[in-house]
Amino acid sequence: MNKHHEPTGSADQQQITLRGPAELADALPYLLGFHPDDSVVMVALHGDRGRFGGRLRLGIPASPKEWLPVADQLAECLIEGSERRGSRPDAIVAFLCQDPAEGETGTQVMERLRPLAQRLRTACGALDVPVQEVLCISGGRYWSYCCPDARCCPPEGTGLALPGTSVMAAAAAYAGVRVRGSLREMEARLEPWRTPAAEAQERALDDAGAALVPRILSGGSRERVGAETLSTARGLMERLRGTPGTGRPGQDAEDDRLISNDEAAAVILGLQDRETRDRAAEWMEGAE
C-alpha cells in the first residue's frame, strides 16, 4: 500500500511515498499539524498513487448510538467537499485516535472502536468511495482494521516510530512544517484566564458588543463593520507574522502582549457576522 504525499507550500513540490500502515500512522500529525486526541480523522486520496487531498477531524462521539449517523455525515462531508474543491476522491483512509482510559489497554480501545471503523467503511462504500485503510492509534501503538497479515499488523499492535526519526519527519522539517503538540495541549492553551486580568477581557467584550452589535444588525453599517473587522484582523496577522517566535508553545504570554484586549474583542465580535467570518476563513487556504 503506497500513499503519495505532496506537502503544500514548498517551491519544489517535494514528493514523499508512504509505504504501509506504519508510515501512514507516522504521517498523521504532519497532515494535521498536531497530534489528534479522541478524534476521528479522514483523509481523501486522489489518483492511482493515492495523493493526499482534503481531510477532516471530529471528536469521537462518546455514545456508540451516535456512530452510525456521524459516520454517514463524515463520509458525505469529505466526499462532497472534495468534489466542490476540484475532484471526487478515489479512496479514503481513516484514523481513530484515542488513548486508553484508566485500567484499559490499547488493544481494548481498538476492539471497542471496531464498530465505528466498520461504520466509516460502510458509509464511504455506500457513496462508492472505498476505504483503503482504517488505523486505530492508542497508547503509542497502532492497529490496522483492514490488514489481515499478522506479520506487519500483529494483534498486539505495533509501536509508533520515535518522534522525529521517520522520513516524513525529515521531509516535514525540511519543508518547515511544524507539529504543534497534541490537540489536548492546544485546547489547554485556549482555556480562559482564571486571573484578575480576565475581568479586563470581559469588559472589552462588553464594550465591543455594545458598540458593534447594533451596527452589525443595522443594514447600513453591517458592511462597514465587516470591512473594519477584516482590516483589523489583517493588521494583527501581520503584527504576529513580523514578530519572531510567535505561536510557539511557551510563548503565549509574549503573544498576548502583541494584541490588546480591545483589538481582540473587536475582531471576535466582528466575526459574528457570517459573511465577514467566511471571508476571513478564506485566509486559511494556501500559504496563509
Asked if residues 31 and 39 have their Cβ atoms less than 8 Å apart, the reply is: no
| Residue 152 Cα distances to 4, 143, 271, angstroms | 20, 10, 49
- The pTM score is 0.68
DSSP class of residue 254 equals: H
- What are residue 17's DSSP bridge partners? 4
CA distance 25 to 149: 17
CA distance 203 to 288: 31
User: Three-class SS of residue 87?
Assistant: coil
| pLDDT digits (tens), the chain, 288 positions | 444 444 444 434 556 666 667 777 887 887 787 888 899 999 999 988 778 888 899 999 999 999 999 999 999 999 999 998 889 999 999 999 999 999 999 999 999 999 999 999 999 999 999 999 999 999 989 999 998 888 888 999 988 876 655 666 666 665 666 667 778 877 888 888 888 989 999 999 999 999 998 888 876 788 899 999 999 999 999 998 888 777 666 677 788 889 999 999 999 999 999 999 999 998 887 665
**Residues sharing a CB contact under 8 Å with residue 90, sequence separation 6 or more, in sequence order:** 45, 46, 47, 48, 50, 129
CA distance 225 to 82: 32
Angle ∠(147,149,154) on CA atoms, nearest 5: 90
CA distance 168 to 30: 8
**Residues sharing a CB contact under 8 Å with residue 80, sequence separation 6 or more, in sequence order:** none
- What are residue 58's DSSP bridge partners? 40
**Residue 287: predicted pLDDT:** 64
**Residues sharing a CB contact under 8 Å with residue 240, sequence separation 6 or more, in sequence order:** 246, 247, 255, 258, 259
